[in-house]
């Protein structure tokens, strides 16, 4: 059903904390709304769209995209941007077998991730998902809680040591490093830790370079064509491969039985259905996939949560009070995380306004008809959590931060397909539970110990590449909570 979320204004009766709209930069929405580009009045022509797509794809979108169930984006071959929940479910869930990952995405990710879980198709994907799924079971995720908390506590203690410095800290960068640390500790027992800073920096270069839309992508050219961006990213790719290949080889030849992690399991696991395991190359592809998919996204989610809480002090207070009650002022523990109901609503609202994976692309294997539209064989489909989550037909006051929409009855009225930060269907994010536990653990471990304020809130602006990050980071002054 194509209906807007109904009900009273989610902010009714609550004090506004931001000033009224200031309109000095037409590309930015200020005022009560967190930063976002203002949609264009008219769909842009090909070259304007190309420039905007290359610079920051969310600035290429027109108002129609946020009002219509679907729009064809202007370019040869016309990508179909789908926003109707039923149509999204058709593509991602009920007829998922007819859609593979889009060329655009493969062009950007396959050079580094090869045939890892995120980029593999058909039987390779099915087998890899069966092999890795047990690592993400509720018990397995509960078992990595201690590592998550230890990493968050290390970062918090480092912040407390550094916070006397007069310069602001870049919280976005801090959270990226923390998320990398957490994936590396929990899944690989630190095996890919030796060159941590180098690898983290390499991934940032990779995402920035290959995350840019190029002309070949706009023209829907075959993925094997050489691309200047791929050439520029080759150093970063070579660094990933050599580091990860070495870590995998060391573990294959030198395991001493002391570890029991994702890397061990990927090396030893056999798919129950086929009896076959992953070869060394496939293991390396997947190590890189879990590092890449598991750290940029969660790091960005944390940055956006801290940004939004800084803009909304009353919500920040509610989160602080809830955390204090859940743990009775004592140490954070796994069971207490389940009590953080309002905090979870804040996380969901941040994932709605700033979905860390802003675009999900698919390509039709055979032609298809649904929701009054026709998709030809090879037709490209774009499902954008950024657009769907801010769609006027689906959300009340879509650009406002309002966690209460994720509580009680209001939450039950949200249509499946209208909120999809982790995707939907068989290829839904395998790390969703891991990410939610990680974010809750970080908030519960860090927030009670500190107070923070953004040094320049108006400079924060969402930048879309493969993930959605705050452009220029998130500069903030941090001080101990007691002062
Ligand atoms: C807030 C954090 C995260 C967000 C928003 C997110 C988002 C997504 C989305 C939207 C997809 C589906 C892509 C598609 O259908 O084309 C996906 C897939 C995936 N994610 Fe996440 N993710 C997050 C955290 C993680 C973590 C922590 C891990 C691993 C530790 C992870 C690993 C993966 C993998 C391996 C896939 C591919 C699954 C498959 O195709 O079977 N993600 N993620």
Residue with CA closest to ligand 1 atom 43: 429
Each residue's pLDDT, cut to its tens digit, for the chain (483 residues) gives: 344 443 334 443 343 332 223 333 444 554 458 999 999 999 888 788 888 888 899 999 999 999 999 998 765 557 899 999 999 999 999 999 999 998 777 877 887 888 999 999 999 999 999 999 988 999 999 999 999 999 999 999 999 999 888 899 999 999 999 999 999 888 877 766 656 667 777 777 777 666 666 555 655 655 555 666 666 667 777 877 888 888 888 887 765 556 777 788 888 888 988 898 888 889 989 988 998 888 889 999 999 999 999 999 999 999 999 999 999 978 999 999 999 999 999 999 999 999 999 999 999 999 999 888 889 999 999 999 999 999 999 999 999 999 999 999 999 999 999 999 999 999 999 999 999 999 999 999 999 999 999 999 999 999 998 899 999 999 999 999 974
Question: What is each CA distance from 299 to 147, 357, 473, in whole angstroms?
Answer: 16, 12, 11
Ligand 1 closest atom vs CA 362? 16
pLDDT of residue 20: 29
Q: Rounded to the nearest whole angstrom, what is the distance from the C-alpha of residue 400 to the centroid of ligand 1?
A: 26
At residue 225, the 3 state secondary structure works out as coil
d(CA 393, CA 388): 9
Q: Rounded to the nearest whole angstrom, what is the distance from the C-alpha of residue 324 to the centroid of ligand 1?
A: 31
pLDDT of residue 40: 94
Q: Rounded to the nearest whole angstrom, what is the distance from the C-alpha of residue 393 to the centroid of ligand 1?
A: 26
Burial class for 16, CB neighbours closer than 10 Å (0-12, 13-18, 19+): exposed
Around ligand 1, the residues with Cβ closer than 6 Å are 101, 117-118, 129, 183, 289-290, 293-294, 297-298, 301, 356-357, 360, 421-423, 427, 429-431, 434-435
Residue with CA closest to ligand 1 atom 11: 429
266 DSSP 8-state letter: H
Q: Considering only CA atoms, which of 470, 480, 212 is closest in space to residue 356?
A: 470
Q: What is the DSSP string of 103-132?
A: HHHHHHHHHHHTTSTTT--HHHHHHHHHHH
pLDDT of residue 161: 93
Do 421 and 356 contact (CB within 8 A), yes or no? yes
> Tokens at residue 448, please?
């009670």
d(CA 292, CA 315): 31
pLDDT of residue 49: 81
Ligand 1 closest atom vs CA 425? 15
CA atoms within 13 A on the CB side of 279: 4
The total of other beta-carbon atoms located within 10 Å of residue 426's CB is 12
The CATH number given to 46-480 is: 1.10.630.10
All structural domains of the chain with their residue ranges: 46-480
- Burial state string for 57-71 with b = 16 or more CB within 10 A and e = fewer than 16: bbbbbbeebbeebbb
């Amino acid at each position: 059903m194509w209906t807007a979320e109904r009900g009273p204004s989610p902010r009714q009766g609550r004090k506004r904390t931001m000033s009224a709209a200031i309109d000095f930069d037409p590309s930015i929405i200020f005022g009560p709304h967190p930063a976002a580009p203002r949609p264009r009045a008219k769909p842009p022509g090909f070259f304007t769209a190309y420039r905007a797509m290359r610079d920051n794809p969310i600035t290429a979108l027109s108002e129609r995209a946020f009002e219509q169930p679907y729009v064809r984006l202007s370019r040869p071959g016309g990508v179909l941007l789908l926003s109707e929940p039923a149509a999204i479910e058709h593509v991602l869930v009920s007829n998922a077998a007819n859609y593979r990952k889009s060329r655009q995405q493969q062009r950007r990710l396959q050079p580094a991730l090869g045939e890892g879980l995120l980029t593999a198709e058909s039987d390779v994907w099915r087998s890899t998902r069966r092999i890795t799924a047990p690592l993400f079971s509720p018990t397995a995720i509960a078992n990595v809680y201690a590592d998550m908390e230890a990493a968050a506590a290390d970062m918090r203690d480092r912040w407390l040591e550094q916070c006397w410095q007069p310069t602001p800290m870049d919280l976005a960068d801090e959270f990226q490093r923390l998320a990398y640390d957490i994936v590396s500790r929990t899944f690989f027992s630190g095996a890919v830790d030796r060159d941590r800073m180098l690898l983290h920096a390499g991934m940032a270069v990779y995402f920035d370079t290959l995350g840019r839309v190029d002309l070949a992508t706009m023209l829907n050219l075959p993925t094997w064509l050489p691309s200047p961006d791929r050439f520029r990213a080759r150093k970063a790719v070579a660094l990933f491969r050599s580091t990860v290949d070495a870590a995998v080889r060391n573990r294959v030849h030198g395991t001493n039985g002391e570890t029991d992690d994702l890397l061990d399991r990927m090396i030893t696991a056999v798919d129950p259905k086929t009896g076959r395991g992953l070869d060394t190359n496939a293991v390396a592809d997947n190590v890189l996939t879990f590092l890449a998919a598991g750290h940029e996204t969660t790091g960005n989610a944390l940055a956006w949560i801290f940004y939004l809480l800084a803009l909304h002090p009353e919500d920040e207070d509610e989160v602080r009070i809830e955390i204090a009650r859940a743990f009775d002022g004592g140490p954070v523990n796994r069971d207490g995380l389940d009590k953080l109901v309002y905090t979870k609503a804040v996380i969901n609202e941040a994932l709605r306004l700033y979905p860390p994976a802003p675009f999900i692309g698919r390509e039709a294997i055979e032609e298809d008809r649904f929701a009054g539209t026709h998709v030809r064989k090879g037709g490209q489909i774009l499902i954008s959590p950024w657009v769907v989550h801010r769609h006027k037909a689906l959300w009340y006051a879509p650009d406002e931060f309002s966690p209460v929409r994720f509580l009680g009855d209001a939450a039950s009225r949200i249509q499946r397909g209208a909120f999809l930060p982790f995707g939907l269907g068989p290829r839904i994010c395998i790390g969703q539970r891991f990410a939610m536990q990680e974010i809750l653990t970080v908030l519960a471990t860090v927030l009670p110990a500190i107070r923070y304020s953004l040094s320049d809130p108006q400079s924060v602006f969402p930048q879309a590449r493969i993930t959605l990050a705050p452009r220029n980071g998130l500069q903030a002054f941090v001080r101990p909570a007691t002062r």
